[in-house]
């Protein structure tokens, strides 16, 4: 399988990465080189094989559904580029 220029633009949009028209051909070549390399996986017979979901055979740990920490709003917004009264500020979403 190989990707065309439209697919590169669509994937970039899904990934929320702005690309210029100048970026597209190089990106397309690189993606196709990588996809060409991983193509060999299709020759492996995986019939009856379960996909790996956990690398160590252990049950997912669960914790009690309770509050363990909180009241740290000012810490949480401390590194944000733009905040007001402990809220993150973003460009207007709803007119």
Residues in the site for other proteins, rule: CB under 8 A?
A: 1, 3, 7-8, 11-19, 27, 30-31, 33-35, 37-42, 44, 46, 49-56, 58, 60-61, 63, 72, 75-82, 88, 90-93
Min dist CB 49 to other proteins, Å, is 5
Min dist CB 67 to other proteins, Å, is 15
Min dist CB 76 to other proteins, Å, is 8
Enumerate the β-bridge partners of residue 83. 88
Helix/strand/coil for 87? strand
Min dist CB 47 to other proteins, Å, is 9
Question: What DSSP state is assigned to residue 66?
Answer: S
How far apart, in whole angstroms, are the C-alpha atoms of residue 1 and residue 62?
41
Strands (E), the chain: 83-84, 87-88
Helix/strand/coil for 7? helix
Look up tokens 């990934």; give the residue: 15
Among residues 1 and 67, whose Cβ is nearest to other proteins? 1
């Amino acid at each position: 399988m190989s990707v065309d220029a439209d697919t590169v633009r669509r994937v970039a949009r899904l990934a929320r990465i702005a690309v210029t028209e100048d970026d597209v051909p190089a990106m397309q070549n690189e993606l196709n080189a990588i996809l060409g390399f991983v193509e060999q996986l299709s020759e492996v017979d995986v019939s009856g094989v379960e996909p790996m979901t956990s690398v160590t055979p252990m049950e997912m740990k669960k914790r009690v559904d309770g509050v363990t920490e909180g009241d740290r709003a000012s810490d949480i917004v401390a590194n944000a580029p733009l905040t007001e009264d402990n809220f993150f500020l973003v460009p207007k979403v709803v007119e």
